[in-house]
Amino acid sequence: MMRLQQQAQALVEHSYYQATAHPAPSHAPLRGSAQADVCVVGAGLAGLSAALELAQRGMRVVVLEAMRVGWGASGRNGGQALGGYASEMGPFERQLGHSAAQAAWDMSLEALQLMQRRIDRHAIACDWTPGALTVAVTPKKARELRHWAEHMHTRYGASHLQWLDAAATQSTIASARYVGGVMDSLSGHLHPLNYTLGLARAASQAGAVIHEHSEVVQVQPAAQAAGKARVCTAQGEVRCNHVLLAGNTHLGAVAPMLARRIMPVGTYIIATEPLGRERANALIRNRVAVSDNQFVLDYYRLSGDDRLLFGGRVSYSTVSPRDLAATMRRGMMRVFPQLHDVAVTHAWGGFVDISMNRAPDFGRLSPDVLYLQGFSGHGLALTGLAGQLAAEAISGQAERFDLFARLRHQAFPGGDLLRTPALVLGMLWYRLRELV
């Protein structure tokens, strides 16, 4: 975990989101012993969402964060808040049946509504912009995308998904690269760090206590800790009735049985200098978020101050690309060659938690220790709902949480030493398939 944190720290220092974050209070590290109804490990979107919900229910909540609020994937991602799942609906259908899959799909749309309600209720200034467009680079990928949209419409009632032909797609995006697309009117995009900081403010105002720079080194469930669960840091401990683990790729040795079920995958983004409103709007009509349906995809959007934020390259080896800004700029130029005169001002990245089947992994390690992980790069909206579901389960209403907990997940092959090389080879095979 220390190696991941060091790499992530180097990547976040050049983040556009850090440079444009709203002022936020610091939170003192945990020192000594504290008592709580619930201890949440991780001050990202999932953990803060749960903390907010639990505090609003009148529970005493302590949140422990190893670094700073929003330091992980929650505060440095592509900013695209999308319905659905990275896995699509396959794992839900195969394992749980259509009725449960329908409920899971509906909850993914509920996640978008929850996000917008929280933005409004807590006056979170995060540049929320509606609309998301998925685009296809090849005729084969266009056929696959159109078939997916039609399937989701007929089987799941997803009437908000609209097919666009090549002409309509290219009238939306000023690029000749795409041959079709699907517009999603319910999804959208925002400044993820400012949203996370706003959620932390709301949780604090509701009564949750947040401690930064408080890395958890041990978690003991009540059965091992003589009465109440025990969550330990280097300088203190929290005794509590319930623990929620929401640290994703940075939990490390605290929960090795969970770490084996996710893979940290590096993803990277650049920000251009401000383009000006007219030039920015000419690139992407209606300022929607855009991503393609390649296995290793490009994703991009316009910021509130009219920059292009462009992401795409990934690292399955956890080794970041050399000369990151130049590497990412070449990808941007494939899409928008007209930006040849535009400078890149920020280049950053981080690690997302990919599960083997790309479906979210929620569950229990013991009756009093719950966890949330495996958002697989599709978690900006879903993390908020996940926190709400965990809060419901802790409060005794576990039906919705248990729908996800019923999904079976496998560990990545190869153990601690070989799982990363095995994943690199597997991903290379999928990349080669796209070239055929």
In the chain, what are the domains? 2-425 (3.50.50.60)
Tell me the C-alpha distance between 18 and 20, whole Å. Answer: 5
- One digit per residue, pLDDT tens: the chain, 436 residues? 455 455 555 555 689 999 999 999 999 999 999 999 999 999 999 999 999 999 999 999 999 999 999 999 999 999 999 999 999 999 999 999 999 999 999 999 999 999 999 999 999 999 999 999 999 999 999 999 999 999 999 999 999 999 999 999 999 999 999 999 999 999 999 999 999 999 999 999 999 999 999 999 999 999 998 889 999 999 999 999 999 999 876 777 788 888 888 888 888 999 999 999 999 999 999 999 999 998 789 999 999 999 999 998 777 656 667 789 999 999 999 999 999 999 999 999 988 888 989 999 999 999 999 999 999 989 999 999 999 999 999 999 999 999 999 999 998 876 554 455 444 444 443 443 444 4
Contacts of 18 (CB under 8 A, 6+ apart): 12, 75, 76, 193, 348
How does DSSP assign 302-359, residue by residue?
E-TTSPEEEEEEEESSSPPPSSHHHHHHHHHHHH-GGGTTPPEEEEEEEEEEEETTSS
H/E element holding 36?
Answer: strand 32-41
Q: Where are the beta strands (DSSP E) in 194-295?
A: 209-211, 216-220, 229-233, 236-245, 262-272, 289-292
pLDDT given for residue 317 in this prediction: 58
Residue with tokens 């808040």: 81
Global pTM value: 0.92
The interaxial angle of helices 382-394 and 45-56, nearest 10 deg, is: 40
pLDDT given for residue 140 in this prediction: 96
> Closest by alpha carbon to 236, among 34, 26, 27, 28?
34
| Cβ proximity of 293 and 268 under 8 Å | no
Assigned token pair, 80: 């695209």
**Does residue 61 sit in helix, strand or coil?**
strand
pLDDT given for residue 264 in this prediction: 86
pLDDT given for residue 219 in this prediction: 96
pLDDT given for residue 428 in this prediction: 44
Amino acid identity for residue 320 in this structure: S
pLDDT given for residue 319 in this prediction: 65
pLDDT given for residue 430 in this prediction: 41
The interaxial angle of helices 192-206 and 45-56, nearest 10 deg, is: 30
pLDDT given for residue 253 in this prediction: 76
pLDDT given for residue 23 in this prediction: 96
The span from the first CA to the last CA of the chain, in angstroms, equals 37
Q: Computed from CA positions of residues 137, 94, 187, 81, in that sequence, does the dihedral angle turn out positive or negative?
A: negative
Question: At CB < 8 A and 24+ separation, what contacts does 215-219 make?
Answer: 215/64, 215/66, 216/41, 216/64, 216/66, 216/247, 216/254, 217/254, 218/254, 219/41, 219/243, 219/245, 219/254, 219/255, 219/369
pLDDT given for residue 421 in this prediction: 47
> Closest by alpha carbon to 79, among 272, 238, 302?
302
Angle at 339 between CA 330 and CA 285, to 5 degrees: 115
